[in-house]
Amino acid sequence: MKQDEHDVASAAWAEVFASLLELVPPGQRAPVLQLLSPNINEMDHWRDEIVEGTRAWESAMRLRLQITQALMENICTNLSPEEGAAVLYERLKDNLPVHLLP
């Protein structure tokens, strides 16, 4: 990936994370970022600590659903039905990490 492409991709991801951070209550934003920052290079290990069926896992699933709803609402509000369908149903295999592919 060329430097310009890398910069554009990083800026795009930063925008996505900023949108997600807006969904976090203001008083929890700094603590959430503090939890993530030291673990940024060990993300997979850190995420494995949340065990399915626990309160933390259930809370994370509810938050994922809220994020999905917010993103869907944003797509439906800001795009035409045709553009929205193209965004929602487009295959993103070139841009998704392997573990997220269907």
Task: Name which of 88, 65, 66 is nearest 78 in CA terms.
Answer: 88
Determine contact, residues 31/21, Cβ cutoff 8 Å.
no
Could you read off the pLDDT of 52-88 as tens digits, one per residue?
A: 778 878 888 888 888 888 888 888 888 898 888 777 7
Does position 97 have pLDDT exceeding 90, yes or no? Answer: no
Q: Which helix (H) or strand (E) holds 35?
A: helix 26-36
Number of H helices, E strands in the chain: 5, 0
Question: What's the pTM value of the predicted model, to 2 decimals?
Answer: 0.56
CA angle, corner 55, sides to 49 and 61, nearest 5? Answer: 80
Task: Name which of 58, 60, 53, 57 is nearest 24 in CA terms.
Answer: 60
Domain ranges of the chain: 52-102
